[in-house]
Each structure stands twice: as C-alpha cells, then as structure tokens.
A = this chain, B = another copy of it.
Amino acid sequence: MQRNAQKLLEKIEKNKMTVGVLGLGYVGLPLAVTFAKKGVTVLGFEKDTKKAAKVNSGINYIGDVSDSDLLFCTQKTKDLSATSDFSRIAEVDAVIICVPTPLDKFKKPDMSYIETACETIAEYMKSGTFIALESTTYPTTTEELMLPIFETSGLQLGEDFWLCYSPERIDPGNKVYKTDNTPKVVGALGEDASELALALYGLAIDTLYPVSSPRVAEMVKILENTYRLVNISLINELALLSGKMDINIWEVIDAAKSKPYGFQAFYPGPGIGGHCIPLDPFYLEHIAKNYNFDLTMINAAGRVDTIMPHRMVVKIGFALNRHNKPISGSKFLFLGVAYKSDIGDERESPALRIISEIDHKGGVVGYNDPYIDTIKVGEEKEFYSVKLTESALKDADCVVITTNHSCYDGEWIAKHAKLVIDLRNSIKKESTTVVKL
C-alpha cells in the first residue's frame, strides 16, 4: 500500500479522522447520522444555510432520520455538525458526495450538482483525502467526469486522493432496511482506494459488497432501479388491458405470487414517482447514446409511464361520463399526492400530473394528504390539503384514490362517496360506484 494511503488507513482504523458529507438531504443526512452514531466525527456540508442551522440545533427534517438520533449526535456527543462554509473541506479526511442528480425537462441528466461538488472539493481538499460519490448516475461518471475535475487540483490519484463510487440504497419509509443495515456496494479506483473505502464505510455500515470498479457499482444501482421501472411499466400496461378484458389485475398478481419461484410481484398505479425510478434508467439511456446503443426496454418503459397519468385522466373522465357528468365543473377530491404510501414526498408524483390535467380541463380540484399540506400545480397554482370528512367525500362528484396511505379506509370512503376511482386497490368490495385501475 502506498504511504499516504497507509497513513489514512491508520487514521480510519483508529477513528481519528473527520468524515465530510456533502449534501444533507434524504441520502446525506441519514448517512451523516449513521456515522456519527458510531462515534465518527462528521462535518456536514450543506449550501442551504437554514438546513445547516437546523442540523446544528438538532432539528430533524428528513423522515428516515430519527429525531432522537439527530439530537443525540448533534447536542450530546456533538459528533455531527453542519456548515455552509465549503472551504472547511480542507479539514476533512474523507468526503462523501450526496448531491442530487435530477433530469431536466427533456429527460437529460443534469450533472451540474456533481460537477459543482467536485470543483469545490478540488479547490479545497488537502493531500490525503478519500472521496466517494453516492448519487445515482450513469456508468463512467466517477472515472470520466469526476476524476479529471479532481486532477485540476494538481493532486494525484492514488498519491494524494482516492476515489470510489458507492451508491445509496435509501428506500424512503422502509421500516426494516435503513442506511446501516442495507448491504452497500463499493467500487473503488485501485486497490488502495478499495481498502480505504471498506475501512471507512465499515465504521458505519454492517455489510459491504466490493466490486471491481466504479463503473460496475454505477451499473449496479442503475440495474436495480431499471428492474423496478420495467416491471412497474409492465404491470401498469397489463392493468390497463385487464380493465378492458374484465379481469381484476390485483387478483391476478396475488395468484401469481403463489408460484414459489421465478416471480416477484409488482403492483400497478397511476404512474411512477419519486427521485429514483423515474430518473435513474434515463441516465443509462443517456450514456448509451454515446455508445450508439438504443435501450429498447427502458425506452418502452418510458413510453408506458409517461402516458399513465393521462390515461388515468381518461379513465376518470369516462367514469364521470357514466354518471352523465363532464370533467368541467365537476368537483374532485384526490386522496394522497405523495408518490408512495406513508411518506411526505410528492416529487415526480403522478397525482400532481393528474390533478394538473383535471384542473386544466375545468375540474374543481381539492385534495387531502396527511403528510403534505400544500402542493404547487403548474407554474402558479397552489392547493391546500383539506380535511378528510364524510361531508368532503359526499360533496365530491368524484373521489380519486391516488396514493394508498395506510390511514385511508377504503370501505369507509366507498360508503360515503358518489363515485370512487380507486387507483391503488384500497377498496376490496365490488360496487357500481367504485371503478378500479
């Protein structure tokens, strides 16, 4: 092992170092807390000064972080603190980058967050710094986008700094698998970097799974989410066909699950949402073009899911039509705008697109979501969550169950509503006033 690497390894093994976590969002904050809980000194970097101040005051803003853990690490042991002063990167021995990797409106990857993070690190890092990226991105990012930026610092890979890619596997709301007990894939550039990565992450994560290179690790993450995208798209499409064929797709899925091998159940819904599944596969589609390669399956999945919310609007319109009502002027109550059950995150949520289209077509829109007080639809319109009451249900011409929050009682909703469009199989009983996806 190279001498500087050896020095850093000893620091890690003796836990005499500071880990910097760059970006204190839904990936970075749980990771920072996970390290700090194990007694590792963590300095969080967050450009949003309000968030940094919250962390320093022990005020939690991420669902998957426990309030008491954050308080403990920031107020009692003080192992975790946050700053918006990025020049303090010079103080840390390792930086783990947890910045967003969104797509722009045209589904092109927006790499600016990663690029800015790398430029900032290159400006301030000292010799002897270990760097890891956790953000989901296309294969080759670590080696071909990040490494050249770090080299502008004049520091040398393998001498002064080491590089690794280790994808986050956060599943918001998962009660069993958290940051510390979800096995973590680690792909480093070179053997020293690999040893350092395993030593560092080993301080906080129960199980590590090393792979031979960053690009393998990058592809692992894309495969995991592409698998989900493709299977959700398949079941969404089969749900639409089943509706036409008078087949209950939910019953079909439950029966298929009785096969004891070779099947994993996915459930249909009004479309894909969140920050991973609707985005990650299109990172791969983007880089594939660089290799003159057309990804038929991802492309097809994208086509199915892009149109799903619109198809739900059509379904709603035709159901109302059977009650001799148009969309225009009818009163709607949408139940749930989060992209999945029991979380307060509406990013990329199909409910927003459905609401937007119904609103645009003249529907009078109301919504309830116990986790989300207000939503913005389009450029200017704002809606506020209303109380879910019997009279709110009775008052609506059409109730649409867009998210299956576990507090929603399907039978109670069906009992009081004139018409329910149940996009989440919340209502088991058959009824003439319930239309299922």
Interface residues of A (CB under 8 A from B): 139-140, 169, 171, 174, 176-177, 182-183, 185, 207, 209, 211-213, 215-217, 219-220, 223-224, 226-228, 230-231, 233-234, 237-238, 240-242, 244-249, 251-253, 255-256, 258-264, 284, 287-288, 291, 293, 295-297, 299-301, 303-304
Contacts and interface: CB of A to CB of B under 8 A. Distances in A.
Given A216-B251, A262-B228, A291 B241 contact: yes
A223 B207 contact: no
Contacts of A209: 255, 258
Nearest to A229: B234
Interface core residue of A174, A237, A246 (most chain B CB under 10 Å): A237
Contact of A183 (B215, B234, B260): B260
Interface SS of A by simple majority: helix
A253 B139 contact: no
A43 to B, nearest CB: 29
A252 B220 contact: yes
A100 B124 CA distance: 69
A288 B185 contact: no
Given A238-B223, A242-B219, A255-B216, A260 B182 contact: yes
Nearest to A182: B260
A218 to B, nearest CB: 8
Nearest to A295: B237
Given A226-B238, A238-B226, A297-B230, A185 B245 contact: no
Contacts of A244: 291, 293
B301 A224 contact: no
A182 B261 CA distance: 9
Contacts of A260: 177, 182-183
A169 B247 contact: no
B224 A262 contact: yes
Contacts of A263: 224, 227
A398 B200 CA distance: 46
A59 to B, nearest CB: 30
B255 A211 contact: yes
A260 to B, nearest CB: 6
A301 to B, nearest CB: 7
A293 B176 CA distance: 40
A300 B302 CA distance: 12
Contacts of A174: 261
Q: Give the top 6 A-B pairs by smallest Cβ distance, nearest first.
A: A300-B300, A183-B258, A209-B258, A264-B264, A220-B255, A234-B297
Given A227-B263, A237-B296, A251 B212 contact: yes
A217 B301 contact: no
Contacts of A220: 252, 255-256
Nearest to A287: B245
A393 B234 CA distance: 43
Nearest to A181: B260
Contact of A288 (B212, B241, B295): B241
Contact of A182 (B140, B259, B293): B259
A226 B264 CA distance: 12
Contacts of A224: 256, 259, 262-263
Contacts of A231: 227, 230-231
Given A140-B245, A216-B251, A223-B252, 13 more contacts: A169-B259, A182-B260, A183-B258, A211-B252, A216-B247, A219-B245, A223-B253, A224-B263, A227-B256, A230-B234, A238-B295, A241-B284, A297-B300
